[in-house]
Structure formats: C-alpha cells, structure tokens
Structure 1
C-alpha cells in the first residue's frame, strides 16, 4: 500500500510543479513481536551476542530514509494553499492520495475516508498495550526469576534490559558524538552474557510469561477500541484493493 501511496503523492506533487521521487519500498524483515515477547535467539547469542541484523528503521517499515525539500513537505501536508500559482489540494497531497485509496471503505464516515490516513494509530495502540502489560506484576516476577538465574550463572543484572543495555556494548547518547569510536560488538564478554541470558529466558519461561501477559493486555486494548479498529480494518481493506489498481494504472487522481 505504501508504494501506491507514494505513486499518488508523486503525481500530486508533479501537478503543482514539484518533481519529487520517493524511494522504492523494500521488504520488511524486522520481527517486531520478538521485542514484545522478550525472546532472544540462542543462535544469535552464540554468533554475535545482542547484535541483531535488520533493526534499522527501513527494515522495520520497508521505507528507506530519504531527504525531502521544504517545498515538497509544505505541499504534502497542506501547509500552504498555493505553490507557484498552482492550488494545493486541501490538507495537502498526502490527504488527496489517501482519500483516493480510502475510496469504497465500507461503514466508514466521509470524514474518515476523506482525510489523511494515520499510519501511527495502530502502533500507538500497540504501545498502549505494552504499557499496560509492563505494569502487570507477573512481568516483574519473571524478571526477578530471570535475574536469579543469571546470578547463578555468574552475571549480576536486575533485568533483561540491563543486560542488553550494558555499557560495554550498548550504544549511548554520548556514543553519537563526533569522533567517538564505536564500541566493539560481538566480544567474548557480550556473547557469554547473551548466551547465559538466552538460556535463563528459556529455563524460567520468561518469554512464555510475557506472551501471556501481553496477549491479555492487547485483548483489553482491542476491547476498548473495537469500533475504531473496525474502521481501520475497513480502511485497510479498501486501501489494499485500491493500491492494486493504482499500481496497475487503472486508478489515478482527478483534478
């Protein structure tokens, strides 16, 4: 759907006189649920410690980073009404593209169908579920059992976060300073810690507990937002069908 959205936004930008090209969408390879489960791949631990491939933003969304001019941004988001004498669509090119992709969504109000699609709405609900889950005492108990297991292995960490975030290998804000030498990764110390970490997560059932708690929290968030999620589902179904038409060249913007 993102590629079709980019195609329509490029068309809209050209209509007002801006030749801007979005990057090609890449396959999404990042397994985001791994973080929610608190699962650590034992094979990864042996090979590279906590260092994971495919955790850059483009691997998580499929959209590589790209620069954008101020003029293109103003037109995309409708921050200006005219550009070089040409009328900018109300709410910008992004909203115009989304209105076309949203067309035909069942049970969706005209107001919802005609506005810019909020890509971050579902992720915000995921975050809300995560916040709810992390307050569950079962998570704290799972961390305590994991910590006891690690201590028996000769490692003193209060939680899995502290192990992953050990300053011997984890990047900090100061590491971004100019001229700073990156910390060595995949060292024996990191690998030994990660191997013990993965083993303790398995032995204590750490990930199983997180899966149970997070699933319950997500179901609670779903229950609270069922009507809105039904709207999002309908929009996504329409956007998927319309995206195929856009990419096939059978659905285009009208002016």
Structure 2
C-alpha cells in the first residue's frame, strides 16, 4: 500500500494559504479533504508548484498534445494521460504529513479512499493512463523507452516528453536548459524529502513520537513508530479489516492526543523556510518553468 511505504515521509500537501491545521471536523465527515479543515495545510515549498486547478488544466493540455503525437504513429490515443502522477499522489494525498482523522480511520483504516477518475475518463469507461489494449511498445512511444516505432523516430522521453517540452517553450529554464525538466521537478521533491528528514530528526518530533508510543501502549499496542503501525503486512488487503480499523483508530486518537499534526507541521514549515533561503535562485527557475507551462496550457485549452 502506497501510504505504508511513505509513512511520515509523505510530507507534501495541498497548495493552499496558511501553515497550520485548523481544528475540528464537521459532524458526519469521513475525514477526507474537503470534509475536514485540519487536512487543508500548506508549506513554503508549495509556492513553487502548480495548484490543483492548474494541474488539471496542464493534464488536459498534455493529454491533447500526447495523443496528437501518437496519431503520427497511427496509435489510438491512450485516453487521459496523467502527466503529474508523482505530484498528484502527494499534493492530493488524503493523509498529509501522514496524518489522518479518527473519522477517516473508522472508515478506511490505513487504506486509501476509492479513486475517483475524471468525468471524461469515467464516461469512456476507462481508467486513467494507458488503455488496457495498448501494447508495451505503444506505451513506450507515449512515455519513453523506445527510439523508433513503425520506422519513425520517437521523440525523446516519448510523446509525453514532447508535450511537456512544447508547454515549456518560452521559459528561461525550459527545454533549452541542459538540465532535464524531470531533474528540475525531482529537485523540488528532493528538497521536500530533505525537509521531512530534518523534521523527524528534530528533538521536538522525537519527543512527540515517544508520547505517541506511550499513548498507543495504553491502548494495547506496541509500535516503535507510526511507520511500523501502518506497515503491518496484515493490512495488505483489498479492504481494511476490523483489526486494521481498530489499530488505525487508536493511531489517529493518539496523534490528536500528542498534537502530532501541529508539531510536525511547524517543523516542516521551519525547515522548508531554511531550504527556500538556501535554494532561492533554483527554486525561482522551477517556479518559472511551471508558470510557463501553465500559461501555454491555458492558451491551448482555451483555444479548443
């Protein structure tokens, strides 16, 4: 399960204003974003990434450009291309900073909620990503990994890579840079991971984690860390079991008792600010790359 692999290192969150968690969940909420204001958190590094709305527009533009490229190879489109899965899975995570509410735990345990696909994809009866009828070679034409197909040269990094370069045209740090765009994207994710590593090594975090362990012991559970609680192989099932739900609920109650989210978020914000100061010039280049992509995508989408 993706969450168990990431645990508290899942430190990316929605791009929203503010840097603290608001208290309280409305009655009947299931603990997912949109139902609980505590999950609407932000961090300084968010300012260098596109918003959810911008990513949706970018996805539409990349899909159109990728499928137009595939037509040159007589390949049927691969439906809704998800160009930012590495961002979507983090920025849209229902458990920011590894936190989840009691309401969430009672419904999903440590599992993720069911995925909702975009309307145009649902209408096609297809999941996001490659069609199930696409061959491995066709997928490589779309996403990279093959140099030639049907006697024609395949763009570097596939049709998706060509689409991304098209959207980056006009940016000082765009496709003309010797550094690849994926390198720039990954650099920011590296900074986020670095911020998390510094935060979980902070004495304030370690003290909070010890209080969490004590709380869990009082409920009959013995775990060295929250990762250990979430990474139980017994949870590797299609749906959360009653035992998993009980464990996750105790976990959520203890997180609230020791102010897990508030303490961790303050550390993340502090370390983000340090990293922004240390990497300001490069982060600005990354921001300009995304801003250019967004402008070009908006032009493409609005132009039909």
Classify the TM-score, shorter chain. Answer: 0.7 to 0.9
CA distance in 2, matches of 1:91, 1:6: 15
CA gap of 1:2–1:157, structure 2 versus 1, over 3 A, is: same
Q: Given the two structures, how large is their TM-score scaled by the length of structure 1?
A: 0.72
Assess if the C-alpha contact under 8 Å between 1:103 and 1:113 holds in 2. Answer: no
Q: Given the two structures, how large is their TM-score scaled by the length of structure 2?
A: 0.62
Consecutive unaligned residues of structure 1, counting only runs of 5 or more, are 172-181, 251-255
What is the count of residue pairs matched by the alignment?
231
Alignment partner of 2:232: what SS? Answer: coil
Match of 2:27 in 1: none
CA gap of 1:221–1:64, structure 2 versus 1, over 3 A, is: farther
Residue 295 (structure 2) pairs with residue 217 (structure 1): no
Identify the range of structure 1 (89-98 vs 222-231) with the bigger mean alpha-carbon deviation. 89-98
After the TM superposition, which residues 52-201 of structure 1 pair with which residues of structure 2 at under 5 Å, given as runs?
52-54=112-114, 64-66=128-130, 67=134, 69-71=136-138, 73-74=140-141, 77=144, 79-80=146-147, 83-89=149-155, 92-105=158-171, 107-108=172-173, 111-112=176-177, 116=181, 119-167=185-233, 169-171=234-236, 182=237, 185-187=240-242, 189-201=243-255
Residue 69 (structure 2) pairs with residue 12 (structure 1): yes
Assess if the C-alpha contact under 8 Å between 1:150 and 1:156 holds in 2. Answer: yes
Moved over 6 A (4+): none
CA gap of 1:40–1:84, structure 2 versus 1, over 3 A, is: closer
Match of 1:179 in 2: none
CA distance in 2, matches of 1:233, 1:54: 32
Give the deviation of 1:53 after TM superposition. Answer: 0.4
2:298 to 236, 244, 248: 244
CA distance in 2, matches of 1:85, 1:154: 64
CA gap of 1:34–1:49, structure 2 versus 1, over 3 A, is: closer
Q: Deviations over 1:209-245 (max 9, x none)?
A: 1111122222233223222221121111111111122
Residue 95 (structure 2) pairs with residue 34 (structure 1): yes
Larger Rg: 1
Assess if the C-alpha contact under 8 Å between 1:102 and 1:114 holds in 2. Answer: no
User: How large is the Cα RMSD of the aligned pairs?
Assistant: 3.6
CA gap of 1:141–1:50, structure 2 versus 1, over 3 A, is: same
Identify the range of structure 1 (92-101 vs 207-216) with the bigger mean alpha-carbon deviation. 92-101
Q: Deviations over 1:53-102 (max 9, x none)?
A: 0479x89xx9824255325525753842x544445446653443223211
Match of 2:288 in 1: 234
Assess if the C-alpha contact under 8 Å between 1:46 and 1:191 holds in 2. Answer: yes
